[in-house]
Amino acid sequence: MYINLSKKNIDEEEDLDEDDDEEEMMTDSNKESLDINAAWRSRRALPKEYFIEIMVVADAKMIELHGVGLVSYILGLMNTVSRIFKDPSIGNPISLSITKIVKIEEVFGTRQNGTDGIAAAEMLKKFCYWQKHNNPDEPSPEHHDVALLLTREDLCHNIGQRRCDTLGLAELGRMCSPGSSCAIAQDNGLAAAFTIAHEIGHVFNMPHDDDNRCVKFRNRSPVHKVMSRMLDDKTHPWEWSKCSRHYLTEFLESGKANCLLDEPRDMIRSDSGRLPGEDYSENEQCELVFGLGSKICPHIEIDVCKRLWCTAPSSSHQPQCHTQHMPWADGTPCAFGMWCQRGKCVSKRNLIPIDGQWGEWGRYGPCSRSCGGGIKAKRRECNNPPPQNSGNYCIGEHNLSRDVKWHAKSIKIPQEDRCKLFCQVESNQYYMLNDTVIDGTPCGPDTFDICVNGHCKQAGCDHVLGSNAKLDTCGVCRGDNSTCQRITGAYNSSGVYGYRKVTKIPKGSSYIDIRQLGWGGSHNDSNYLALRLGEDGEYILNGNYMVMHKKVIVLPGSAIEYSGPGTVVERLNSSRPVGVDLILEILSVGDIVPPQITYEYTVPKRILGSYTWILSDWSSCSHMCQGNKQRRAECRNTEHKDVVSDDYCRREERPQEESQLCNTHCILQWQLTPKSECSKHCGPGTQMVSSRCFQVILNSPNQSPRLLKDYACTHLERPSDIRPCVGPCDDVRWSYSDWGTCSVTCGGGVQIRTAKCIDSNGVEVAERTCNASEKILKRFCGSEACPQWTFGECAMLIAVKVTNIGKFVAKVHVKEDDVRDYRVNILQCTKSCGGGIKERRVDCVIRWFNGDKEERVGDEECTRFGFNKPRTHRPCQRIPCDFTWKEGSWSECSADCGDGIQRRAVTCHHINRYGWIDPSPAEGTRVARSNCPAEFKPQRKRKCNQRRCGPLTCLEAQRRLKSTKDGEYTLLIGGKNMSIYCHDMGTSEPREYLTLPAGDRENYAEIYDKRLNDPNTCPFGGQRNDSCDCFDNRGTVSGRTMFKRVRIDVAKLIIMANDYTFSWTKGAKRVEYGKAGDCYSRQDCPQGRFSINLTGTALKLAREVTWKPEKSRAHLAINRITDQRILGKCGGYCGFCSPAGDMKLEKLNEHIKDNNKIKL
């Protein structure tokens, strides 16, 4: 056998990219201007997780080669790419989701003369232009962040030199740039996944590992990583270098990738749980690289899993072997019970994803500067445990910095130390940097006194030693308070979440006093004052949803004191003129209540010329009918037209407010409706009435009044519920009820009714006012003759055998000899021995008094006159039997569907002289069946559950029903037909899910997000109370995941707890079904919860399913209400609990019913 390396080998230093470093950083399309209309997404607060929403496009040659298997092939490639971006070496939480897969016949580029290739740069440019114009804006579920073109075309680096060995091309650092966030990759088999990951790395601004920018990150390891410039037998393309991690982290932290911060709602899942090597054999992998007919080289065993050696498609008896230095696909069988993983042949095992968790923080390092300000930093790693098997990387910060921001500080410094240079770090600790400051330094921001030789000397606002010059209320040194005006205002608009503008405090304002009274006297009403510099400037107080403690805000020429949020009255105050415009805002979070803000400050009169009175637009009409609308005077800024406090405008120039009538076409009125009659039949009384609001259209007599809600008439006085009335004093008469039923139906009886005395209005009055002689309450009824019983004689016998219950039932056929003579059949005894039944028929007849006629009527005609019906059955054949049949209980049905059978034992037994049935003999011998009458033998078996069996899997349902629609299907699970939700029915690998009728409120898994400040306690008796003395622990650990459906393995009948397709999560971490935990307390005080509720399904949790703590510090409590309803609590410091093994399911037991029909 001859071994010949392919053209793309290590000696040729095959490039993964078409471009060198310079071309990578700037190509023609890289010069595009930023699209100001692009749908950029806002940056969200930490912790951050990034989601790459990618559109994958396949060109004509891809469609021609892969045919109907194209989508499955692309999903296999992207599955590998997703796992590469989940490798912990990347150092950041990144997930990949496919928004859509597009098949297109278009060729992006022109084939050059003398070669079949296309210039890679031209193809990338045209594809980037195409994808930009085929990308819907947010929030469309088909919006993508980056686009990928897969092609089988030859990509040429230099057309002139006919170099067409390029595998991919992308622009550097263009993620989230709408016109250039794209890449192209040549399909050369399953190893194209490494090219795709490499090119997306470039879009994330990662250079090649041998780039000069990576010099400081290099080590002596010969192993090449994902961003290696070439692929050879030393390349390990599943891991990222330290250089790649650094530049990716830098790019993410710069905010340039903020379009990746929103979690996709709808996506095409690529993480099917299967590895590419499970779907493509070694020979199929060879054919994907070298063409149809290529096979794995049979005698090269040293590179198993590491390099794919294949025969050429046209190989003869001595095949030549080729390789592109690419490994076998993960999941490819390489020996008995083993498979390939990352280029090695290892034991086969289930690769369950394990999410990473943060380790402990390290110590703070040294200060970054010896003076003038610096930082100290500490670091932690995602290694407790590290992510494994494509598990999620930790979310949150690697580094924690402590600023050492130095500035001269005199607040809280003793008087005698005010001229020493004390500096304060943000931890509120003070350090004396020098025992004196430079002469002339102000003693503090709240005084004009200055330091001389280390002592504070009196000085005035004119900065002259010994001067006592003061600022007036306008901030003018030695002023007379005439150059300014006091502005006051209040704000208490109904709260909404987030920031709202209260007012603008212009530059030059002084004596600022802003107060926010806590709602209901509370010091924590979730409303906080906030300040920012100018309309679009940065926050200097309580910005970015972070609330500061008590502090002094230093501004040019002034300082503002902040009381902090922990007081009933939150306050900002300053006396000196501020040197910048300030915007006062209110931040509302948590339980939203209206803020109670008052503010006042002094402004220079010179700025008041920028404000004038303007009449507002007409207000809406005050009432639906006969209302008025107004135009009120508003003080506005003449430049920006902002409405400001009335104090900015001159009161004497305020215009007269205008008003006018509106909605004059109608009137509103209360209309009364009686609820009772007048309280007096005769003369003055009172009456209960109800009032309702009506709209009456004027000058429209044909239009009926329209009923309105009562609030429309609240401005009108509502009438009383009682009004006076006068009784009419009319005539009276008896009013009767209906006649009752007759006391008998024949033979003579009476009917009775009731009466009351009423007036002409129908109002009941005293009976003495009516004529008693006219009161008639009884009358006779039921005078017809009554029927009686007669008996017939025996006629004939008919016996019918009923086979379903194994007994004889007698039935009678009546023969009428003449109209007067009714015959009844007396049947033979139903048994020949042991006691049977004889039956006769008894009819009720009416015999007329003249004796000429009798009529048969229903039995009720006799029984209601007291005639007892003679018996129709009597015992017979009381002589004892020698033998009789005895039947056992029916067995369970042999099948839940299809052709099920039930069986029972039927045995013949001897009857002893006492009339009892002898049991079966102890020695096992039986009484011969021939001793018992064969015609009375009960049936031994019968059919059951005669319904059609469903398919076993969703894939079988797809093929049998020819359906591609997701939904509920009847599958045969564990031998029982039940409803299962089939997902991805439009793909070659549909999956089975169990819909949870109890809903996601009853099916959740939670890792609690609070941690006690004192973890050695267990407050509230262990009960959960979110007002605990806690701090939020909302990093990568906590979250609450609610499930609407859970994925099941229909073959093993287990729940796959880590599938989140039909779930939603509140918090940073998705939690597996049936798992719980917290970092709340070291005591036995668990707060994390899970709930499993399978009620309404045909399955239950097996009794063998139990829970175990994942860490020794965990405490758990499991409440197994039923096998379908399990509640759990778990926690520790930190402590987590999860099922001990698989979550095995069993089908519910059913009461077996006999649905067979009785056969005559």
Asked if residue 7 has pLDDT above 50, the reply is no
CA atoms of 136 and 122, how far apart (whole Å): 24
Give the pLDDT score at 530: 92
Q: Are residues 589 and 623 in the same domain?
A: no
Whether residue 600 is found in the same domain as residue 617: no
For the chain, what is the largest distance between any 2 Cα atoms, rounded to a whole number of angstroms? 148
Choose among 497, 498, 509: nearest CA to 542.
498
Claim to verify: residue 933 and residue 1051 sit in the same structural domain: no
Is 145 annotated as ligand-binding? yes
Task: Provide the percentage of residues in the chain whose pLDDT is more than 70.
Answer: 81
- 327-374 per-position pLDDT tens digit: 999 999 988 889 998 888 988 877 788 888 989 988 888 865 555 334
Mark whether 1098 and 1034 lie in a shared domain. yes
Residues 895-944 pLDDT 10s: 767 677 888 888 888 877 666 777 777 666 778 888 888 877 888 888 88
User: Is residue 1000 located within the same domain as residue 1084?
Assistant: yes
Residue 81 is inside which H or E element, if any? helix 70-85
Are 1104 and 1028 found together in one domain? yes
Is the pLDDT assigned to residue 886 strictly greater than 80? yes
Is residue 259 part of an annotated ligand binding site?
yes
Taking residue 979's Cβ as centre, other Cβ atoms within 10 Å add up to 17
Q: Sort residue 777 into left (φ over 0), alpha (ψ -120 to 50) or beta.
A: alpha
pLDDT tens column, 479-500? 888 888 888 888 888 767 788 8
Is 699 among the domain residues? no
* Backbone φ, ψ for residue 553 (5° rounding): -95, 115
Q: Looking at residue 84, which CATH number applies to its domain?
A: 3.40.390.10
Per-residue confidence (pLDDT) for residue 401, from 0 to 100: 55
Q: What predicted TM-score, i.e. pTM, was given to this entire model?
A: 0.41
Question: 813 labelled as ligand-binding?
Answer: no
Task: State the pLDDT at residue 408.
Answer: 41
Give a yes or no: residue 337 inside a domain. yes
> Of 577, 561, 555, whose CA–CA distance to 484 is shortest?
577
Does residue 610 have a pLDDT over 80? no
Q: 169: closest CA among 161, 180, 178?
A: 180
SS3 per residue for 811-875: ECCCCECCCCCECCCCCCCCCCCCCEEEECCCEEEEECCCCCCEEEECCHHHHCCCCCCCCCEEE
Q: What is the CATH number of the domain that holds 322?
A: 3.40.1620.60
Q: How confident is the model at residue 566 (pLDDT cuts 50, 70, 90)?
A: confident
Residue 6's pLDDT is what?
31
Which of 876, 908, 929 delimits the end of a domain? 876
Residue 837 lies in a domain: yes
Taking only the tens place, the pLDDT of each residue in 962-1009 is 888 999 998 888 878 889 999 999 888 899 999 999 988 899 999 998
Domain hosting residue 336, numbered range: 281-349
Computed over every residue of the chain, the mean pLDDT equals 79
Is 646 a known ligand-binding residue? no
The response to whether 1115 counts as a known ligand-binding position is no
**Helix orientation angle between 70-85 and 192-203, rounded to the nearest 10 degrees:** 60
Ramachandran area for residue 412 (φ above 0: left; ψ -120 to 50: alpha; else beta) = left
Maximum average pLDDT range among 248-257, 446-455, 465-474, 505-514: 505-514
Helix/strand/coil for 772? helix
pLDDT at residue 48 greater than cutoff 80: no
Tell me how many degrees the CA angle 569-573-577 measures, rounded to the nearest 5: 165
Q: Are residues 109 and 235 part of one domain?
A: yes
Instruction: With a cut of 60, say whether residue 545 has pLDDT above it.
Output: yes
Tell me, what's the pLDDT at 1146? 92
Residue 517 CA to residue 577 CA, distance in Å, equals 25
| Whether 836 and 902 share a structural domain | no
Answer yes or no: is pLDDT of 1126 > 80.
yes
The answer to whether the annotation marks 53 as part of a ligand binding site is yes
Q: Give how far the C-alpha of residue 371 lies from the chain's centroid of Cα atoms, to the nearest Å.
A: 51
Classify residue 1067: in a domain, yes or no.
Answer: yes
237 and 102 within one domain: yes
What does DSSP say about strands 118-119 and 155-156: parallel, antiparallel, or unpaired? parallel
- The mean pLDDT value for 880-897 works out to 79
Q: Do 915 and 880 form a contact (C-beta atoms < 8 A)?
A: yes
Tell me the two tokens of residue 694. Answer: 């009506």
Domain end point (choices 349, 375, 402): 349
Q: Does residue 700 lie within any of the structural domains?
A: no
Q: Which of 949, 953, 940 is nearest to 899 (CA)?
A: 949
pLDDT at 805: 28
pLDDT of residue 182: 94
CATH number at residue 563: 2.60.120.830
Q: Are residues 113 and 179 in the same domain?
A: yes
**Could you tell me if 193 and 223 lie in one domain?**
yes
Domain boundary among 849, 876, 903: 876
Other beta carbons within 10 angstroms of residue 569's beta carbon come to 13
Cα 63 from chain centroid (whole Å): 37
DSSP letter for each residue of 506-532: -TT-EEEEEEEEPGGG-S-SSEEEEEE
Catalytic residues: 199
Name residues whose C-beta falls within 8 Å of residue 536's C-beta, 6 or more positions apart in sequence.
none
Per the structure, the count of domains in the chain is: 7
- Residue 562 falls within a domain, yes or no? yes
CA-nearest of 872, 876, 874, 875 to 789 is: 872
For residue 1140, tell me if it sits in a domain.
yes
Do 230 and 165 lie in one domain? The reply is yes
Domain assignment of residue 69, yes or no: yes
**Stretch among 212-216, 879-883, 1013-1017, 1120-1124 having the lowest mean pLDDT:** 879-883
pLDDT at site 56:
95
List 1115's β-bridge partners, or say none.
1131
